[in-house]
Structure 1
Amino acid sequence: MKFTAKAMIAATALAGLATAASAEEIKTIGVAVPNLQADFFNQIKLGVENYAKEKGMETIIVDAKNDTATQVSQVQDLLTQGIDAFIYIPAGAAAAAVPTRLARNEGIPVINVDRTPEGEPGDTFIAGESVESAYEVCKTIIEMAGGEGKMAIIHGQKGTTPEVDRFAGCNRAIEENPGVELVSQQWSQMWSPDEGFSIAQNMLQANPDLKIIFGQADALAMGAAKAADVAGVSDDIIIGGYDGDVAALEYLAKCEGPFKVTATQSTQLMGRLAVDSAIAVAAGETVEERQTPNAVLTTCENAPEFVAQHP
C-alpha cells in the first residue's frame, strides 16, 4: 500500500531535474547530517554520495552527532572549503536556521532533506509526507489491537519537523478511535534504540496493561520491542515504527515479535533527488518548494522486497 495523499512520484521529479541541468556548476557538495549512527541518515548519505560520484562530484560529509552547536561550526568549516552546494539536515530545532543563513550569505544553493529550519527554508525541501503516513501506521496498529486499549507514543527529538508531523498524523488516528486511550508520551533526544528501550520500560512499568506503542522512528520501535520482550509482554502488545531502517525491515520480514508495522521511506532516492535539486538550483532552474517521495506501509508481508533492495 502506498501513501498517496499529497505525494509526488520522486522518480519523475529526478528525471526532470537531471535533464534540466548539468553538473558543470557544482564540483563539491557539502552535506551536514545530524547523526550517522542512525541508519535513516546513513541511507540518505549513501544516496547523495553514490549519485554525486556518478556525476563526477566530490562530497564532504559532516556528522553533528545530534549537537546543534557542533553542526553550526561544521557548516562554517564547510564554507571555508569552497563547497558549491549545501545539502542540510538540521541536527535539532535550536539554531537550525543558522547554517541556511550562512550558506545563503555565500550564494550557495541550500537543499533541505527530512527537516526544514523554521523561518529560514532552503531552495527546496525533500521529505516524506509524515502526517499521512504516520496516520496510516497508527491506524493499522490500532486495528491490529482490536481498535481499543491503552496506547503510548515515543516521540523523536522535540520540535523537529518529523516529530511534529508524525504526532499530528498519529493523533488523528487516535482521535478516530474512542476506544483508544493515549496514556503516555515521552520524547527522545537521539531517536535511538537505547532510548526506545529505556522509555518503553518506564511506560510498561507505569502501565502494565499497555497495548499499543508508536515509536516515531524504527530505532525507537526496535528498542520498545526489546523492552516488551524483557517484560514478557510481547504477545500482548502491538508496536509500530517509521522510516524503513534496514534492521527494522529484517525484523519485520521474520513475521514474529511485537513490532508489526512501519512506513518505508525512499531514503536513497531522497539523497539522489537532493543532488539533482542542487544541480538545478545552481543552473538557475525552478525547483518545487516541497518534493515528497512516496512512503510505503510495510508489514511482514512486503518487508522482504525492501530487505532485498532498499528504495
Structure 2
Amino acid sequence: MNITFKALIAATALATIAGAASADEVKKLGVAVPNLQADFFNQIKLGVEAYAKEKGIETIVVDAKNDTATQVSQVQDLMTQGIDAFIYIPAGAAAAAVPTRLARAEGIPVINVDRTPDGEPGDTFIAGESVESAYEVCKTIIEMAGGEGKMAIIHGQKGTTPEVLRHEGCLRAVEENPGVELVAEQWSQMWSPDEGFSIAQNMLQAHPDIKIIFGQADGLAMGAAKAVDVAGLSDQVVIGGYDGDVAALEYLAKCEGPFKVTATQSTQLMGRLAVDSAIKKAAGEDLPERQTPNAVLTTCENAPEFVAEHP
C-alpha cells in the first residue's frame, strides 16, 4: 500500500512490456461489463479499448446494467460474433458461471477482471488485492476518528468477489480496535451514490452518533458523504471508500468534507493486462491463476497526482 505513484507507473510499463505478445491469434475481443455508469468499470473499458486499438484488435463491449440475465443474453450474442477471446466481469453472483461455460464450449479464452464466478473461474483473474487494501482504508479512518466510536459499513452487491474480500479486510481492522462498535451494515445492489446516500441516511437516523463509515466503493462513500453533510454531521463523521474513481479523487484533492480516504485501483492497467492475457492465452501460453495490480492508499495529500494521471 505504500508504493509510490512513480513506482506504480514504472511497474505498469514493465508489465506491459513483459506482457507484449503477437496479436495474430486475437483479432476480435469480446468484453462483458456489469455497469458502465460506474467509473470503475468504465476506466477498465478505456484501458482495454486503448490498448487493443494499439494492437490492431477490434473490441465489442456489452453493458449488462447490473442485470445478470441481460449479461447472459449479451454473452450468448457475443459467442455468435466470432470473438477470439473474452474479457469478463460478472454482473452479480447469480448465474455468474454461465458466461464462462458458454465461452469454454466455443474454445474461447476467458479473462476475469475484478470478479470471478464461483466454481467456474476463467484462465486468469486480474484484480486488486482487496483484503489488505480494505484493511488499510478501515484502519486509517478508525485512526482518524481517534480509534473509537460507532461504525457503519455500506456493502456492495452481496456475494460478489470485491464485496466479500473488502468486508474481510475491513473487519480485521475493526477487530483490532476494541473501542470501535460496528452498529450498522447494509448491502447495496448497484454500488451507487444514490444507494450510499439513502442507506447512510437511514443509518444516521437510527444511530445519530455514528463516527465512522466505510463504503465498499467510492460511489457508496460519496453518497454517504452527502448524507452526512445534509445531516449537519460533517465534523463528526469520517468516511472511507474504495476504487479511486475520478469524482472521488477530485473530492479528496480538495481536502475538505467527511470523505477522507480511498484505495486507488490501477483500473486502466487492469484493462491492458486483460488484453495481453487474452493474446497470450490465445497463442497457447500459460497464464498465472491471479494477477494483482497494486491499490494505493489515497488521502487528500496524494489524490492530486492521481487526478492528473489515473493509473
- The TM-score bracket by the shorter chain reads over 0.9
Q: Corresponding residue for 2:39? A: 39
Note the alpha carbon deviations across 1:1-53, whole angstroms, 9 max, x for none. 5369xx9x5544432221xx300000000000000000000000000001001
Question: Within 2, Cα distance between the matches of 1:50 and 1:10?
Answer: 15
Question: Within 1, Cα distance between the matches of 2:124 and 2:255?
Answer: 38
Contact 1:10 1:273 in 2 (8 A): no
Amino acid corresponding to residue 93 of structure 1 in structure 2: A
Q: Corresponding residue for 2:147? A: 147
Question: Within 1, Cα distance between the matches of 2:116 and 2:301?
Answer: 33
Q: Corresponding residue for 1:15? A: 17
Question: Within 1, Cα distance between the matches of 2:44 and 2:12?
Answer: 14
TM-score by length of 1: 0.97
Q: Corresponding residue for 1:81? A: 81
Question: Within 2, Cα distance between the matches of 1:143 and 1:17?
Answer: 39
Q: Would you say 1:159 and 2:155 are equivalent positions? A: no
Root mean square deviation of aligned Cα: 1.2
Question: Within 2, Cα distance between the matches of 1:184 and 1:15?
Answer: 46
Q: Corresponding residue for 1:224? A: 224
Amino acid corresponding to residue 296 of structure 1 in structure 2: V
Note the alpha carbon deviations across 1:106-152, whole angstroms, 9 max, x for none. 00000000000000000000000000000000000000000000000
Question: Within 2, Cα distance between the matches of 1:89 and 1:213?
Answer: 27
Q: Would you say 1:67 and 2:67 are equivalent positions? A: yes
Contact 1:149 1:181 in 2 (8 A): yes
Question: Within 2, Cα distance between the matches of 1:2 and 1:115?
Answer: 24
Question: Within 2, Cα distance between the matches of 1:174 and 1:281?
Answer: 41
Amino acid corresponding to residue 145 of structure 1 in structure 2: A
Contact 1:134 1:242 in 2 (8 A): yes
Question: Within 2, Cα distance between the matches of 1:159 and 1:117?
Answer: 10
Amino acid corresponding to residue 94 of structure 2 in structure 1: A
Contact 1:43 1:267 in 2 (8 A): yes
Give the superposition deviation at 1:226: 0.1
Question: Within 1, Cα distance between the matches of 2:29 and 2:66?
Answer: 21
Q: Corresponding residue for 2:247? A: 247
Q: Corresponding residue for 1:300? A: 300
Contact 1:133 1:263 in 2 (8 A): yes
Amino acid corresponding to residue 128 of structure 2 in structure 1: G
SS, match of residue 117 in structure 2: coil
SS, match of residue 300 in structure 2: coil
Q: Corresponding residue for 2:104? A: 104
- Structure 1's unaligned 5+ residue stretches are none
Q: Would you say 1:134 and 2:153 are equivalent positions? A: no
SS, match of residue 256 in structure 1: coil
Question: Within 2, Cα distance between the matches of 1:110 and 1:205?
Answer: 45
Q: Corresponding residue for 2:279? A: 279
Note the alpha carbon deviations across 1:193-217, whole angstroms, 9 max, x for none. 0000000000000000000000000
SS, match of residue 25 in structure 1: coil
- 1:255-266 alignment runs, 5 A limit: 255-266=255-266
Question: Within 2, Cα distance between the matches of 1:3 and 1:130?
Answer: 15
Q: Percent identity?
A: 87
Contact 1:198 1:227 in 2 (8 A): yes
Q: Corresponding residue for 2:200? A: 200
CA, structure 1 residues 11+46, in 2 after alignment: closer, same or farther (shift >3 Å)? same
Give the superposition deviation at 1:286: 1.4
SS, match of residue 119 in structure 2: coil
Contact 1:2 1:295 in 2 (8 A): no
Question: Within 1, Cα distance between the matches of 2:264 and 2:24?
Answer: 33
Contact 1:10 1:291 in 2 (8 A): no
SS, match of residue 24 in structure 1: coil
- Which aligned runs of 4 or more in structure 1 are off by greater than 4 angstroms? none
Note the alpha carbon deviations across 1:74-130, whole angstroms, 9 max, x for none. 000000001000000000000000000000110000000000000000000000000
Note the alpha carbon deviations across 1:219-265, whole angstroms, 9 max, x for none. 00000000000000011000000000000000000000000000000
